[in-house]
Every structure is written in structure tokens, then in C-alpha cells.
């Protein structure tokens, strides 16, 4: 019948569970391997600045002298290119978003 | 009396900005003057600044829906220039991801067209089904729409054979729901009243005006770039989905048919995928020029790549499917009713970010 063709779908969703999450009461579970944000184990970093040179969006800056590793979270596109290039394997991709920042250009600093 | 009605760049039916000046006589559109350029980002020029390996990320960001195929086409072009033999497993994984992005793009379009003709719950259900495909994509690549899994010389991530078979089985279950959804689009009386006979484009017109993808196939021309056997399509058994009528209903039917075709292609890939490496080391720099042609959900995309042996490419030109589909869109809109304009704009599956790059 060409009428009410959607009624089967409607009935299913009427008696089934909701397709959406009651966020933020029910937190979203990230799948393993989801690209959320870059994390650094700064104690094993050698400050070679390879990640800074590889970063396509220039979100990273590394200071060899003062041993500070900085990331601009708003510029980072979570592409994992730095983690692949890192010779010490101290960079890694974690799931979940990074916390919000208060102004553009604000960087997150990690000291060795 | 003739009146000019501006349509867009901000309009409830448009997901992205395009401006049309509709020349209207009573309720009939007699002429359409398009203007584009609201979201031009100059990505083709950026190729001179970015390393050719980094540019994969930029290529992926040309479009937010068919992003993987943009990245893959770029990689395919550069690989051909550098004469890199990509491992067969990487080819199969690229095929799987291309087809997953085709499924999610077509489900997105089905939602948008349902929204355009005013069927809100159908729109919600289309996007509910799309979300499940996005979950599969996130689990395999790490991103929902920007996959980031393609690189020059192969792919970044592997999908285990068992997981791939699970994905194929999951999609077979989802196909039951796609069938219910497709039934509403193809058989419901109210939907048919809005789509049948609206915006008819004949086969010779479609070819003459250079339309591509589902727009062309709905007019009875079986042109599909996947038949060029890039990636793993040479080892896959499929035939282009076509329709004869050339109206909005036929375009809808072709896209629904392609969802099932993609499910079938992924099933074949999960059975035929060979083992081995997923990438090879890339050495040297590209030199020469190459035209890469692949099939996106919206049609054929062409990447013209010219390299001069340095780490930056000399020229990149992207001819996207929506750009090719704008002249046929103007053709089908001439003579239509004003109330059909939103549906007709949506039937070409416009992706303005692609068009303006």
C-alpha cells in the first residue's frame, strides 16, 4: 500500500530503545583507537623538534634550551602525524576531546 | 511579469551556501543565474606551501562528506607519478573505506532530500541509520568523517580479517533497515508526488551538459569511474546502478540502489582481501603530471597533479562532481515550479565546499 509506508519504522522506534544518548547524564564511550587528542610523556622526550617540523598545522612548538613542549589545542587536527614521526615514541593519540581553552592561541605547556 | 527571487546563500534547505537568482514568471521559474564563491579557501594554491606528503590532510579537508575519496584520489595520483606499487591489502582497505563513505554520504543525502520535501521523521531516520555507519568508520579509522587513514604508499591502519567480516555482517543486518527506508522513498504516495516527473533530464542532455555520477546514471548513461579499476575495483564484481527516467525519483532510486551495491562490494572485499603489508616506504620525489579520476558518492572527481621533482607540487587542480553538475541543475530548474526549487537543488546532491575548494 503506498500510504503509511513508514509506519513499520515508526512502530519500531515507538516501542524500541531511543537511538540517542542522554548526554551528558550518560557519558559517551569512545571506541579504542578513536583519534581524540595528542598526549606526551614529556620525561622521555628528547626535544628533537621533529614533531614540530612534521605538524601540518604548526600546532606544536618545541624549545630545546628550556625543555618546554607546547601544543596549541585549537590548531591541532589530531592527525597522528607527529606520533608517527616521534623517534622516542613519547607522543601518543588518546581518545576523548581535550579540555576547552579560554582564548585563541593559548598553548598547553609541558616541562621536562 | 518577471520577478527575480534571490535563493540562498542562506536558505533552510541548503546545507551549504550557494546563491541562485530565480527569474520567475508567476509561479514558473524561467531562468536561473547561479553564483558561487562564498566559501572559497584557496586549497589548490596551498599545495605550493605544503609538503606533498602533508597535503593528504588538506586534500581530505576539501569536503567533509567524501573526505576519504578526496585523500585517496590525491594519493592515487601521486603514487602513479612516483610509480609506487601499493600493496594489494591497502588497495582493498581503501575500497572498503570508499564504500563506507559512499553509504554514509547517500544516507545523508536521503535525509536532506526528505527534509527538502518536508518529511521530517524520514530525515531523522535516515540520519539515525547513517550514525551507525559513522560508528563503524570511527572504530576502524579513528575519525567520524575525516578518516585520516590514507597515505601515500598505502594506508595507516589495518582492519583485521575477522573485524572486516563482522563489519560486512553488520552491514547486512543494517541493509534490512535500509530496505525499509528505501521503501518509503520509492513507494510512498506523498514522496512520489514530490519526486516523480520533477526535473527531467534526458540522457543526451545529461551527457552534453557534462553531468556526472548518480545524476548521469539516473538518465540512463552507465558511466562509473570505478570501472577504471583503480584501488581494488578490478577484482570486484559489480555493475553501475542506472535508471531511465532522468527525474528526481530516478536519481533517488539510483542512490538507494548504490547503498545496497556498496554493502555488496564491502562483502566481496571482506572475502577476497589478501594478506600482507598495508604500506610501503616512500622514497624520492614526484615528477611529471597525472590525471587521477575516481568515483565519489556525487560522481567523478578529477585531480590534475603536476610535480617538478621538489617536495612541493607545482600545480593541483580539482574538478569536483558538484561543479560538473551545476549546468545540468540549471537546465532542470528552467521551467519548473517555484515550490520544486528546493527539491531540484538537492537532487544533484550539492557539495559546495567541494565546488569552491
- Residue A24: partners with Cβ closer than 8 Å, 6 or more residues away: none
Q: What is the pLDDT of residue A75?
A: 87
Please report the pLDDT score of residue A1 as a whole number: 55
B189 inside 8 A of chain A by CB = yes
Residue A20: inside a domain, yes or no?
Answer: no
- pLDDT at position A70 is 87
Of A61, A94, A52, A57, whose CA–CA distance to A74 is shortest? Answer: A57
Average pLDDT over residues B264-288: 88
Determine, yes or no, domain membership for A2: no
- Smallest Cβ distance to B184: which of A5, A13, A93? A5
Q: Is A1 domain-assigned?
A: no
How many C-beta neighbours within 10 Å does residue B229 have?
A: 11
- For residues B216 and B254, give the distance between their C-alpha atoms in angstroms, rounded to a whole number: 10
Q: Check B57 against A77: CB less than 8 A apart.
A: yes
Number of domains observed in the structure of chain A: 1
% residues pLDDT > 70 (chain B): 100
- Give the C-alpha separation, B5 to B116, whole Å: 18
Return the top range by mean pLDDT from A6-15, A16-25, B106-115: B106-115
- When CB atoms are compared, the residue of B57, B188, B189 closest to A56 is B57
Query: How many distinct structural domains can be found in chain B?
Result: 1
Q: Could you say which residues from 111 to 140 on chain B have a Cβ atom under 8 Å away from some Cβ of chain A?
A: 121-122, 125, 128, 131, 135, 138-139
Residue A68 lies in domain:
32-111
Q: B120-165 pLDDT, tens per residue?
A: 888 999 999 999 999 999 989 888 888 888 888 889 888 888 888 8
The answer to whether position A39 is within a domain reads: yes
Asked if residue A48 lies in contact with residue A41, where contact means CB atoms within 8 angstroms, the answer is: no
Of A2, A54, A78, the CB nearest to B188: A2
pLDDT at residue B261, as a whole number: 92
Task: Report whether pLDDT(B276) > 60.
Answer: yes
Judging contacts by C-beta atoms under 8 Å, the chain B residues touching residue A2 are 187-189, 192
Residues of chain A positioned with their CB less than 8 A from the CB of B183:
5
Contact B121 A10 (CB under 8 A): yes
Region A95-111 average pLDDT: 81
Answer yes or no: is pLDDT of B334 > 80.
yes
Give Cβ neighbours of residue B72 (< 8 Å, ≥ 6 apart). B94, B97, B98, B150, B231, B294
Share of chain A above pLDDT 90, in %: 0
pLDDT for A90 equals: 87
pLDDT number for residue B75: 92
Backbone angles phi, psi at B4, to 5 degrees: -105, 120
Distance from the A70 Cα atom to the nearest Cα atom in chain B, whole angstroms: 21
Highest mean pLDDT of the ranges B65-69, B265-269, B272-276, B285-289: B265-269
pLDDT for B119: 86
Q: Does residue A2 register a pLDDT over 80?
A: no
Residue B318 CA to its chain's centroid (Å): 14
Say what percent of chain B tops pLDDT 90. 29
Q: C-alpha angle B70/B76/B80, rounded to 5°?
A: 150
- Structural domain of residue B244, as residue ranges? 2-356
CATH of the domain at A41: 3.30.70.3270
Judge whether residue A110 has pLDDT over 80.
no
The pLDDT of residue B85:
87
Q: Which residue is associated with the grid cell 584557496?
A: B42
Closest CA to B192 of B113, B104, B109: B113
List chain B residues with CB under 8 Å of A33.
139, 142, 157
Q: What is the CATH number of the domain that holds B209?
A: 1.10.645.10
Round the average pLDDT of chain B to a whole number and report it. Answer: 89
The answer to whether B220 and B211 have CB atoms below 8 angstroms apart is: no
Q: Mean pLDDT throughout B232-259?
A: 90
Contact between chains at A80 and B189 (C-beta distance less than 8 A): no
pLDDT beyond 70 at A23 = yes
Contact map slice: A 37-96 vs B, CB within 8 A = 54, 56, 77-81, 84, 93
Q: Which one, of B213, B119, B284, lies nearest residue A4 by Cα?
A: B119
Q: Do B156 and A9 touch (CB under 8 A)?
A: no
A21 touches chain B (CB under 8 A): no
pLDDT digits (tens, 9 = 90+) for A77-88: 888 888 888 888
pLDDT tens profile A31-50: 888 888 888 888 888 888 88
**Secondary structure class of B10 (helix, strand, coil):** coil
Residue A18 maps to a domain? no
Q: Retrieve residue A68's grid coordinates.
A: 618546554
What pLDDT score was predicted for residue B104? 92
Which residues from chain B sit within 8 angstroms of residue A97, using beta carbons? none
Residue A99, domain member (yes or no): yes
B57–A33 CB contact, under 8 Å? no
Chain A residues inside the 8 Å CB shell of B170: none
A2/B125 touch (CB, cutoff 8 Å), yes or no:
no
What is the rounded distance in angstroms from the CA atom of residue B21 to the CA atom of residue B36? 11
Q: What is the pLDDT of residue B266?
A: 92
- Give the pLDDT of residue B230: 85
| Residue A106 within a domain | yes
Cα–Cα distance measured from residue B5 to residue B1, given in angstroms and rounded to the nearest whole number: 13
Return mean pLDDT, chain A: 84
Set of chain A residues whose Cβ sits within 8 Å of the Cβ of B107: none
A22 in any annotated domain:
no
C-alpha angle B259-B263-B268 in degrees, rounded to nearest 5: 145
pLDDT at B106 over 90: yes
Non-local CB neighbours of A12 within 8 Å, separated by 6+ positions: none
Q: Using an 8 Å Cβ cutoff, are A95 and A36 in contact?
A: yes
Amino acid at each position: 500500500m503506498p500510504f503509511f509506508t513508514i509506519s513499520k519504522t515508526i512502530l519500531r522506534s515507538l516501542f524500541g530503545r531511543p537511538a540517542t544518548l542522554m548526554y551528558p547524564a550518560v557519558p559517551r564511550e569512545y571506541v579504542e583507537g578513536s583519534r581524540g587528542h595528542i598526549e606526551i610523556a614529556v620525561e622521555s622526550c628528547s626535544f628533537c623538534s621533529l614533531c614540530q617540523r612534521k605538524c601540518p598545522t604548526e600546532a606544536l612548538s618545541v624549545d630545546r634550551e628550556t625543555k618546554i613542549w607546547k601544543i596549541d589545542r585549537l590548531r591541532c587536527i589530531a592527525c597522528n602525524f607527529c606520533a608517527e614521526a616521534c623517534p622516542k615514541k613519547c607522543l601518543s593519540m588518546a581518545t576523548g576531546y581535550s579540555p576547552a581553552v579560554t582564548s585563541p592561541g593559548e598553548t598547553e605547556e609541558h616541562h621536562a | 511579469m518577471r520577478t527575480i527571487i534571490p535563493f540562498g546563500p542562506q536558505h533552510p534547505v541548503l546545507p551549504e551556501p550557494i546563491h541562485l537568482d530565480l527569474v520567475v514568471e508567476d509561479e514558473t521559474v524561467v531562468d536561473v543565474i547561479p553564483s558561487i564563491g562564498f566559501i572559497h579557501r584557496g586549497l589548490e594554491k596551498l599545495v605550493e606551501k605544503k609538503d606533498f606528503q602533508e597535503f593528504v590532510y588538506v586534500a581530505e579537508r576539501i569536503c567533509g562528506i567524501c573526505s576519504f575519496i578526496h585523500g585517496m584520489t590525491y594519493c592515487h595520483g601521486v603514487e602513479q607519478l612516483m610509480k609506487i606499487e601499493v600493496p594489494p591489502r591497502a588497495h582493498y582497505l581503501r575500497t572498503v573505506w570508499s564504500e563506507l563513505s559512499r553509504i554514509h554520504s547517500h544516507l545523508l543525502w536521503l535525509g536532506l532530500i526528505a527534509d527538502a520535501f518536508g518529511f521530517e521523521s524520514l530525515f531523522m531516520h535516515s540520519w539515525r541509520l547513517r550514525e551507525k555507519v559513522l560508528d563503524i568508520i570511527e572504530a576502524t579509522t579513528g575519525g567520524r568523517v575525516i578518516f585520516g587513514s590514507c597515505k601515500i604508499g598505502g594506508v595507516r591502519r589495518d582492519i583485521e580479517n575477522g573485524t572486516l567480516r563482522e563489519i560486512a555482517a553488520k552491514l547486512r543486518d543494517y541493509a534490512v533497515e535500509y530496505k525499509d527506508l528505501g521503501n518509503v522513498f520509492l513507494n510512498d504516495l506523498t514522496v512520489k508526488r514530490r519526486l516523480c516527473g520533477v526535473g527531467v533530464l534526458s540522457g543526451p542532455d545529461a551527457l552534453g551538459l557534462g553531468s556526472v555520477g548518480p545524476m548521469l546514471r539516473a538518465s540512463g548513461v552507465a558511466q562509473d569511474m570505478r570501472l577504471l579499476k583503480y584501488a581494488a575495483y578490478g577484482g570486484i564484481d559489480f555493475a553501475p546502478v542506472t535508471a531511465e527516467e532522468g527525474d528526481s525519483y530516478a536519481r533517488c532510486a539510483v542512490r538507494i540502489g548504490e547503498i545496497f551495491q556498496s554493502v555488496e562490494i564491502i562483502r566481496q572485499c571482506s572475502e577476497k582481501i589478501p594478506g600482507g603489508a598495508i604500506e610501503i616506504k616512500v622514497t624520492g620525489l614526484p615528477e611529471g603530471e597525472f590525471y587521477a579520476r575516481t568515483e565519489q558518492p556525487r560522481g567523478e572527481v578529477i585531480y590534475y597533479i603536476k610535480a617538478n621533482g621538489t617536495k612541493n607540487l607545482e600545480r593541483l587542480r580539482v574538478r569536483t562532481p558538484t561543479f560538473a553538475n551545476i549546468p545540468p541543475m540549471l537546465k532542470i530548474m528552467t521551467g519548473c515550479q517555484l515550490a520544486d526549487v528546493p527539491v531540484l537543488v538537492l537532487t544533484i546532491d550539492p557539495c559546495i565546499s567541494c565546488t569552491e575548494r
